[in-house]
Amino acid sequence: MNQPSTDRDGLAAEVPPGSTLVISGEEIDRALDRMAREIAMDLAGALPLAIAIMNGGLVFAGQLLTRLAFPLHCDYIHVRRYGRLTHGGELEWIAGPHVDVRGRTVLLLDDILDEGRTLAVVKEALLARGAGTVRIAAFARKDRGEPPAIEADYVGVSVPNRFVFGFGMDVDGAWRNLPAVYALPEETR
């Protein structure tokens, strides 16, 4: 049986048994507001191209972009490493970008910076396609105890070195829609 949890509006949601709340909805809102201020200070006036990495970056991008009060263009790419796994596999490039990135300031949006391999490959691919500069905004950065392959320019929250889900991150394709972040029990890793 799934464990009930409460989101920021007091609505009950079911999460996998033994899961623990890691980042509340209120903490997410504060982190997004802070990130939006930091990004605006750096990129307002540059007409950046914001590129969300699907599917994980969808929720994060949707909520962050509405906080950016300056003109920008939007696109997406679809890459994946995890699939049905709880640890990364080989990178599969599925789609995008759909616009020319040559000479552009690109703001790459992703749900989590874990090992950093996906973001490193995507950044290099965008630079190889002629992007002028690529900045990375990751909603969460996992505290792994060792540095990732690449760092993000903007980070919303830190999460423990556990399998986390919610706010764009999934468990076997589900739970991306949760308005908070949870961690699976240690033994499920």
What are the DSSP E strand ranges found in 18-167?
Answer: 20-23, 49-54, 73-80, 92-95, 105-113, 133-142, 154-159, 164-165
Q: Is there a domain that residue 144 lies in?
A: yes
Total domain count for the chain?
Answer: 1
Q: Is there a domain that residue 9 lies in?
A: no
Q: Is there a domain that residue 2 lies in?
A: no
Q: Is there a domain that residue 74 lies in?
A: yes
Q: Is there a domain that residue 14 lies in?
A: no
Residue 90, pLDDT score: 72
Write the CATH number for 178.
3.40.50.2020
Q: Is there a domain that residue 11 lies in?
A: no
Q: Which helix (H) or strand (E) element contains residue 14?
A: strand 12-15
Residues annotated as catalytic (active site), given as ranges: 114
> What does the alpha-carbon distance between residue 124 and residue 131 come to, in Å, rounded to a whole number?
9
Structural domain boundaries, residue 117: 20-184
Q: Is there a domain that residue 3 lies in?
A: no
Residue 188, pLDDT score: 55
Q: Each residue's pLDDT tens digit in the chain (189 positions)? A: 344 445 554 444 678 888 999 999 999 999 999 999 999 999 999 999 999 999 899 999 999 999 999 999 999 999 876 554 444 557 777 887 999 999 999 999 999 999 998 899 999 999 999 999 999 999 999 999 899 999 999 999 999 999 999 999 999 889 999 999 999 998 654
Residue 92, pLDDT score: 79
Q: Is there a domain that residue 12 lies in?
A: no
Q: Is the entire prediction scored with pTM above 0.85?
A: yes
